[in-house]
Amino acid sequence: MQWNRSNAIGLAKESCSACHGYGLRLVHKGREVPCQCVLRAIFRACYNRFRDCATHAGQVGNVSLEFCRGKEGRRMYSRKREEFMADFILVSRRMLNSFEYDIFRFHFLLGADWRMCCRRLGIDRGTFFHSVYRIEHRLGRTFAELEPYSLYPIDEYFTGMNREPRRPLLRELFDLHRKRPPVPLPLSA
Ligand SMILES: [Zn+2]
DSSP code per residue over 84-135:
HHHHHHHHHHHHS-HHHHHHIIIIIIS---HHHHHHHHT--HHHHHHHHHHH
Which of the pair, 118 or 186, is modelled with greater confidence? 118
Q: Report CA(173)–ligand 1 centroid distance (Å).
A: 34
What number of CA atoms fall less than 13 Å from residue 21's CA on the CB side?
2
Q: Average the pLDDT over 13-21 and give the result.
A: 93
Q: Average the pLDDT over 45-64 and give the result.
A: 82
Give tens-digit pLDDT for 103-153: 999 999 999 999 999 999 999 999 999 999 999 999 999 999 998 889 999
pLDDT confidence bin for 189, thresholds 50/70/90: very low
Q: Report CA(28)–ligand 1 centroid distance (Å).
A: 17
Of 108, 101, 91, the residue nearest 169 (C-alpha): 91
Check residue 147 and give its pLDDT: 86
Give the residue extent of every domain in the chain. 36-179
Q: Report CA(117)–ligand 1 centroid distance (Å).
A: 27
Tell me the whole-structure pTM to 2 decimals. Answer: 0.78
Q: Report CA(47)–ligand 1 centroid distance (Å).
A: 19
Check residue 160 and give its pLDDT: 66
